[in-house]
Amino acid sequence: MLLNHIGMALRSIIKHRLYSTINIVGLAVGLSVCVLIVLFVSHETGFDKVVPDSERVYRLNWESDQTGARFATFFNPLSPILADAHPDDVEMVTRITLSERLLNIGDEKQYQTISFVDENFFEMFPYKFETGSPSSSLINLNNAVLTKIAAATLFPGEDAIGKIFTLDGEHDFQVTAIIENNKSDSHQVSNIFINMEMLPVIWNDPAIWERNFSDQLYHYVKLAPNVSATEFETKALNYVINNVDKEYGGNINIYLQPLADIHFMTELQNEMSVRDTITGLSKPHRQRSDVSIFGFVALLTLVIATFNFINMQIAQSSNRVKEVGIRKVLGAKRHNVASQFIIESTVMAIIALITSLVIVEMFAPFFGSMLGVPLSADQIYTAEFGLGLILTTLLVGILSGLYPALFVSGVLPAKAIRGGAFDGIGSAKLRAGLVVLQFSIAIGLMSATGIVNNQIDFALNKPLGYEPENVIAVRLNNGEARNAYRTMHDQLKNSPFIDNVSAGSIIPTWDLSDGASFSKEGEGPDFQLITRLITADDGYFDTLGMKMVAGRPLSDEFAADRTPQFSPENPHVTGGMVINETAAKQVGWNDPAEAIGQQVYAAFSFGNTDYRIDSTIVGVVEDAHFSSVRSEPASLSFGLGDNQKVMVVKVKKGNINDAIELIDNVWQQHVPSYPIRRTFLKEDYASFYAVEGRVFRMFIGFAGLAAMIACIGLYGLASFIADRRTKEIGIRKVLGASVMNIVMLLSWELSKLVIIANVVAWPVAWLMMDGWLSGFSYRIDMSLAPYIVAGTIAFFLAYATTSARAWTAARINPIYSLKSE
Amino acid sequence: MLKLQDLTKAYRTDEVETVALNNVNIEIDHGEFVAIMGPSGCGKSTLLNIVGMLDTPTSGHYYFKNEDVAGYSEAQLGVIRKQHIGFIFQSFNLIDELSVAENIELALLYHDIPASERKERVATVMDKVGIAHRAKHMPSQLSGGQQQRVAVARAVVGNQSMILADEPTGNLDTAHGQEVMGMLQKLNEEGTTIVMVTHSPSHADYARRTINLLDGHVVTESMRA
């Protein structure tokens, strides 16, 4: 019987080719979009889940009470101290830090990111060891562990085990183990591992473990089962205040960041690199809301496609009343007819599912590359995912077969055979309701798309407050280069190819680091100037194209501008300072000119010495976006000093190649031991936003597809209505209606549903998008335009599809439609 | 009123050519009541469709009010049709979703007549065919005879000078059939030309002239005394 039903179902599907194709394609595209998005969402939400007991693993963060900034790093020696003091709470701690070093292999020099880890790192983060063992590979301080791809990169075509590389030209390391590559859904990007005990040597920093306030490492802690993270945070803070240094009190907070949250916190300072420098894969942190939006789009697309499918099945079924009547006359029971409808729609849903699997197989890699996430369709074939997919499909099939099964099967055979259209209970209303809903979603998605697009454009084209064009950033990543900076500066500055040269501790697109809180003599504690500090050289603002809004830039022409480095011997220093607009506003200097000439100071004690920096504000600079345009510009202060980490060179337009050659030569001449590391600021900036931009372009594509599916359904519905109203069209034509009259009549009937859909969609979309936009510090004001555009597009699409179908219907000679029965 | 001259209609499928009307010559004067009879497949309906300008002849001439419309386009035919010709069908062909009054009004909708005048004319014609008390009802709530009266009302509400009726009594019982025939007769007496296809000899007797068709030919024409 079942086979018989399936056979009949297939025949009926073939017989109603147009409907079947429209129906299957609509559902298949909907399912594909949904599956692709779910692949992406589950990849993103599955980050770091593979770590054993991941729900008990946290990363230690600290927060500065002064600036409110929260850091992904934690104080160098503290996690082992905390672990020793709380053996019942802490199961394990391990640390890592990444550092770009110069590597020599034979005669070849290359920069590589080296990861310094505690010996037990591989116990907390289990990598599969291809050769070597997790417990012994790093026992010897001169051992190194490589990922497979790192081994292939450093020692191409050779077996890396036993091979030697040299760090910074002086420290030899021997490869003792090869491990599997990083997973794409792990936040780890390390490829070359060395024992952390080597840090004091490599960084030439013997006091590294003594400095309680240095946060150069990432600390992971695995709590014992049933230990509450919040309780341990308090315990840990109390312990360090009471037993390590009372200075922590009132200055910091300690947080345990769940491992699963690392991928979703975009606002941490000192965040670990998300770029695997060897594979080139970037795993940018995402806003949870962005991932949710994608999930939501997936759901909506599935809903649209499902409604579409149900709609078409209902529409179709009332054309088959006569067939049902004949079956019943011939002895079919009601449940026979009902199951036939259900089987038929389920068979169609399954065909759609198979089609969608083919589509997903084809597009998953492309889609993944657009989003910067390696995706493959393999994931679908896991039990969980596959089962979900099959259940969804069956549900859609059964649901859409249910209506005809329940109502059409109940029709009286005598009435059914007499023919004519069947108007099931409320079937017209139900259809209209589904069309309205379907189009509401499509219109909502389209208007959301417009808003997302406008916002992204706005954010990306917003004045940055600096000018990245033709600026080359050269990293002063070693002592030799830092010492040679002044000489290189002078040499480059004299070149006709170069406009300006300067340097700083931080430039835009880099992470901000140190902060300070300034006070003012004669003002109470109400006076608030809390900034992140940047050390700049003469010409920094000019070179980066940052404009002064009041006063003047820092300059060596004014002897008092330069702030010397403070030290125990020289605890009290003075100098000039430039703040940005946000900092000025924070104090309450609404006119930036008020800030000029103000004297402020920062005082703190450290190791029994009281330090004090006195600064005179000489200028206020325009706000610049150092980090994402999503966040507010930070409050910044700039001082003239010598802590340079990067040299910036503004090249004259059209002289890029000459300038690069010159810069490379100058470097070669003064920093012979190290290859140059330079980038174009413009490219750094672009890569900063590339992913964000791409993700939302993708979103736009999907919303478009959803709208298209909605229109496919509308065409089907128009066909159905045209078929049903053939007789009416004939009568109207006989009575003198022109083809145009008929087209207008039919199109209007569906188009008015689309108008209702607009009324439903706009307020909902408005509310939701307002919520999304509130996540941006710089946001567009919402206008009606995207809604009007989306509504108009939907209306015309609907009008065009229905009138295309109505046109063919209206052209039929009425003698065919009015043949006496 | 109309004159068919050497009119031929052939349907061509892939292999076979079927001649539905073969060299038909008919002349119908203004105010005539003509019945067309003949067995199934003799070409009655084809003839009616061509006369009603729903279809075009393969060859020959069709003079309508002295105008040869044989080569006219669909749109041109449509204009003449809606001014002059009303239709009545065996299966009534009312629109199920519209009320009685709306069904009748439909025939005026495509004539650029102001709404107030349309209402008036619909009311008048409903009185005339005796269904005014059913104006707000839907077709499904009416008996067959009543439905056909609505159809008659619809056919004449536009002051059409000719009514083409395709077996108007075919779906009706004897009493209702008589009623509709009486109505047609009355319309004819008021000056409307009526061309009616029928199987019923007794209903054909209402007509003053009967044309018998067989295999696409006019075999006999008989005048009622």
- Please write the tens of the pLDDT for every residue from A665-696: 999 999 998 889 999 998 888 776 666 677 77
Give how far A820 is from chain B: nearest CA, Å: 6
User: How many CB pairs below 8 A link A and B?
Assistant: 54
Give how far A815 is from chain B: nearest CA, Å: 7
Which of B93, B95, B104, B171 should be substituted to probe chain A, the one whose Cβ sees the most A Cβ atoms within 10 Å? B93
Query: Does A199 score more than 90 pLDDT?
Result: yes
Q: Which residue has the tokens 């259209």?
A: A421
Residues of B in contact with A813 (CB under 8 A): 54-55
B154 and A738 within 8 Å at the Cβ level: the answer is no
pTM score:
0.76
pLDDT of residue A368: 85
B89 and A821 within 8 Å at the Cβ level: the answer is no
Query: Helix (H, G, I), strand (E, B), or coil: what is residue A45?
Result: helix
User: For B166, which of A728, A814, A820 is closest by C-beta distance?
Assistant: A820
- Sign of the CA dihedral A775, A778, A781, A785? negative
Which string of b and e fits A443-473 if b means at least 16 CB within 10 Å? bbbbbbbbbbbbbbeebeeeebbbbbebbbb
Query: Does A425 score more than 60 pLDDT?
Result: no
pLDDT of residue A414: 63
Look up residue A52 and give its two tokens: 């054993």
Look up residue A200 and give its two tokens: 């004091």
Angle between helices A681-724 and A785-811 (to 10 degrees): 40
- Cβ atoms of residues B129 and B146 within 8 Å: no
Q: Which residue has the tokens 């000056």?
A: B191
| Nearest partner of A161 among A131, A134, A206, A194, judged by Cα | A131
In this structure, what DSSP letter does residue B200 have?
A: -
- CB-based contacts of A384: which residues, under 8 Å, 6+ apart? none
Residue of B nearest to A736 (CA): B82
Alpha carbon separation from A64 to A69, A566, A617 (Å, rounded): 6, 21, 24
B110 and A814 within 8 Å at the Cβ level: the answer is no
Q: Is some CB atom of chain B closer than 8 A to the CB atom of A730?
A: yes
What whole-number distance in Å separates Cα of residue A216 and Cα of residue A199?
Answer: 11
State pLDDT tens for residues A64-118: 887 778 889 999 999 999 999 999 999 999 999 999 899 999 888 898 999 999 9
Residue of A nearest to B170 (CA): A820
| Nearest partner of B126 among B93, B91, B154, B158, judged by Cα | B154
Look up residue A749 and give its two tokens: 């009937």
- CB-based contacts of A26: which residues, under 8 Å, 6+ apart? A305, A308, A309, A312, A709, A712, A713, A716
Show the CA angle centred on residue A117, arms to residues A112 and A119, nearest 5°: 135
Query: Helix (H, G, I), strand (E, B), or coil: what is residue B206?
Result: coil
Q: Is some CB atom of chain B closer than 8 A to the CB atom of A609?
A: no
A736 and B89 within 8 Å at the Cβ level: the answer is no
B107 and A736 within 8 Å at the Cβ level: the answer is yes
Query: Helix (H, G, I), strand (E, B), or coil: what is residue A498?
Result: strand
pLDDT of residue A291: 85
Residues of A in contact with B155 (CB under 8 A): none
Residues of B in contact with A818 (CB under 8 A): 89, 91, 93
Residue of B nearest to A727 (CA): B93
* Number of CB atoms found within 10 A of residue B27's CB: 11
**Residues in chain B whose beta carbon is closer than 8 A to a beta carbon of chain A?**
45, 49, 52, 54-55, 75, 78, 81-82, 87, 89-91, 93-97, 106-107, 109-111, 154, 158, 166-167, 170
Mean pLDDT across A244-271:
87
The ipTM, to two decimals, is 0.82
What whole-number distance in Å separates Cα of residue A561 and Cα of residue A548?
Answer: 16
Give how far B185 is from chain A: nearest CA, Å: 22
pLDDT of residue A820: 47
What number of residues does chain A have? Answer: 821
Residue of A nearest to B48 (CA): A815
Task: Give the N- to C-terminal CA distance of chain B in Å, as an integer.
Answer: 22
| Nearest partner of B216 among B2, B36, B3, B13, judged by Cα | B36
A736 and B154 within 8 Å at the Cβ level: the answer is no
- Cβ atoms of residues A621 and A553 within 8 Å: yes
Higher pLDDT, B50 or A524: B50
**In chain A, % of residues over pLDDT 70:** 96
Residues of B in contact with A736 (CB under 8 A): 78, 81-82, 107, 110-111, 158
Query: Does A198 score more than 90 pLDDT?
Result: yes
Task: Determine if residue A434 is left, alpha or beta; phi over 0 gives left, psi from -120 to 50 gives alpha, anything else beta.
Answer: alpha
A738 and B75 within 8 Å at the Cβ level: the answer is yes
- CB-based contacts of B104: which residues, under 8 Å, 6+ apart? B122, B125, B126, B150, B153, B154, B157
Mean pLDDT across A447-476:
85
Alpha carbon separation from A501 to A536, A659, A681, B134, B177 (Å, rounded): 12, 12, 14, 95, 106
pLDDT of residue A800: 83
Residue of A nearest to B95 (CA): A728
Query: Does A610 score more than 90 pLDDT?
Result: no
User: For B54, which of A728, A734, A741 is closest by C-beta distance?
Assistant: A734
Mean pLDDT across A776-802:
84
Which string of b and e fits A109-119 if b means at least 16 CB within 10 Å? eebbbbbbbbb
Q: Is some CB atom of chain B closer than 8 A to the CB atom of A281?
A: no
User: For B106, which of A730, A732, A818 is closest by C-beta distance?
Assistant: A732
Angle between helices A427-461 and A681-724 (to 10 degrees): 160
Give how far A720 is from chain B: nearest CA, Å: 16
What whole-number distance in Å separates Cα of residue B158 and Cα of residue A93?
Answer: 95
Query: In which band, very low, low, confident or very high, does the pLDDT at A493 lie, cut at 50, 70 and 90?
Result: very high
A813 and B106 within 8 Å at the Cβ level: the answer is no
- Cβ atoms of residues A498 and A492 within 8 Å: yes
Residue of A nearest to B104 (CA): A735
pLDDT of residue A718: 72
A818 and B89 within 8 Å at the Cβ level: the answer is yes
Q: Is some CB atom of chain B closer than 8 A to the CB atom of A141?
A: no
B154 and A814 within 8 Å at the Cβ level: the answer is no
pLDDT of residue A423: 52
Q: Is some CB atom of chain B closer than 8 A to the CB atom of A701?
A: no
User: For A734, which of B75, B87, B167 is closest by C-beta distance?
Assistant: B87
Q: Is some CB atom of chain B closer than 8 A to the CB atom of A735?
A: yes
Helices (H) and strands (E) in chain B, counts: 7, 10
Query: Does A225 score more than 70 pLDDT?
Result: yes
User: For B90, which of A733, A734, A820 is closest by C-beta distance?
Assistant: A820
Residue-by-residue DSSP string for A58-127: EEEEEEETTT--EES-B-TTHHHHHHHH-TTTEEEEEEEEEEEEEEEETTEEEEEEEEEE-TTHHHHS-P
Q: Of A56-65, A366-375, A784-793, B152-161, where does mean pLDDT reach its minimum?
A: A366-375
* Cross-strand pairs, A649: A472, A501
Q: Is some CB atom of chain B closer than 8 A to the CB atom of A727?
A: yes
Q: Is some CB atom of chain B closer than 8 A to the CB atom of A429?
A: no
Rg (CA), chain B: 17
- CB-based contacts of A812: which residues, under 8 Å, 6+ apart? A726, A729, A730
Q: Is some CB atom of chain B closer than 8 A to the CB atom of A820?
A: yes
Higher pLDDT, A800 or A258: A258
* Highest-pLDDT range among A79-88, A370-379, A598-607, B162-171: A79-88
C-alpha neighbours within 13 Å on the C-beta side of residue A727: 16
State pLDDT tens for residues A617-661: 999 999 988 876 666 788 899 999 888 999 999 999 888 999 999
Query: Does A713 score more than 90 pLDDT?
Result: no
Residue type at position A765? A
Helices (H) and strands (E) in chain A, counts: 22, 22
Residues of chain B with pLDDT under 70: 225
Mean pLDDT across A348-359:
93
Give how far A728 is from chain B: nearest CA, Å: 6
- CB-based contacts of A157: which residues, under 8 Å, 6+ apart? none
Show the CA angle centred on residue A26, arms to residues A431 and A793, nearest 5°: 75
